[in-house]
């Protein structure tokens, strides 16, 4: 008799999930989970310059702190959308809107505080440079392509400098 009753028992998780679905709150919970998962979804480099601001009805609004990164992320909207949807294992995001914002609240001194002579001599490995070239070659405009390439190289050199010298950055 006890065995028969046990098969009818449901886990608390399945009951909670069913209740949230009936109340229409399940997607709201996932929409809010994006803030905690953002760095892991898009990676540290993109997360340094962006953060989700809101998500509603499939529209993800992303706040971006730097105009060059704003342009770069325009080209990466489809990739970001795919990563978010893959993370949540459903089509949570159908469109992305990028918005210039002030500083991004991360616990990371501003890269402009690090003198160029400290990081500019850092050599990047050939594989990384090949990856950059593959990415920027998708950009048709030659001036924009070179600007994005310079930005990506600069950011990687700064990241490597910070890693080697254990420098923590903070946005102003």
Domains of the chain, residue spans = 27-105, 107-172
- The residues, ordered by sequence, that sit 6+ positions from 99 with a Cβ below 8 Å of its Cβ are 53, 61, 62, 63, 64
29 or 125, which is more confident? 125
Query: What does the pLDDT read at residue 97?
Result: 95
Q: Please, which residues have CB within 8 angstroms of residue 30's CB and are 6 or more apart in sequence? A: 88, 90, 92
pLDDT one-digit tens code per residue, 40-54: 899 888 988 898 888
**What was the pLDDT predicted at 16?**
54
Give the highest mean pLDDT range of 24-28, 42-46, 115-119, 148-152. Answer: 42-46
Are 67 and 102 contacting, i.e. CB atoms less than 8 angstroms apart?
no
* pLDDT greater than 70 at residue 141: yes
- The CATH superfamily assigned to 27-105 is DnaA, N-terminal domain (3.30.300.180)
**What average pLDDT does range 87-109 have in this prediction?**
78
Is residue 75 over pLDDT 90? yes
Residue 63: what pLDDT? Answer: 92
Overall pTM > 0.75: no
The average pLDDT across 24-37 equals 63
CB atoms under 10 Å from CB of 119, counted, come to 20
């Amino acid at each position: 008799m006890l065995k028969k009753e046990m098969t009818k028992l449901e886990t608390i998780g399945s009951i909670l999930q069913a209740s949230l679905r009936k109340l229409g709150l399940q997607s709201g919970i996932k929409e809010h989970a994006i803030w905690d998962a953002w760095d892991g979804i898009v990676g540290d480099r993109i997360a340094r310059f962006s953060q989700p601001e809101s998500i509603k009805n499939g529209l993800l609004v992303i706040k971006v702190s730097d105009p060059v990164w704003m342009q770069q992320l325009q080209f990466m909207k489809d990739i970001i959308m795919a990563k978010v949807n893959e993370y949540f294992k459903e089509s949570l995001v159908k469109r992305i809107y990028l918005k210039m914002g002030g500083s991004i609240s991360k616990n990371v001194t501003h890269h402009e505080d690090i003198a160029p002579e400290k990081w500019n001599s850092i050599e990047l490995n050939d594989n990384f440079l090949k990856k950059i070239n593959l990415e920027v070659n998708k950009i048709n405009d030659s001036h924009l392509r070179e600007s994005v390439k310079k930005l990506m190289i600069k950011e990687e050199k700064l990241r490597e400098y910070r890693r080697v010298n254990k420098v923590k950055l903070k946005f102003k």
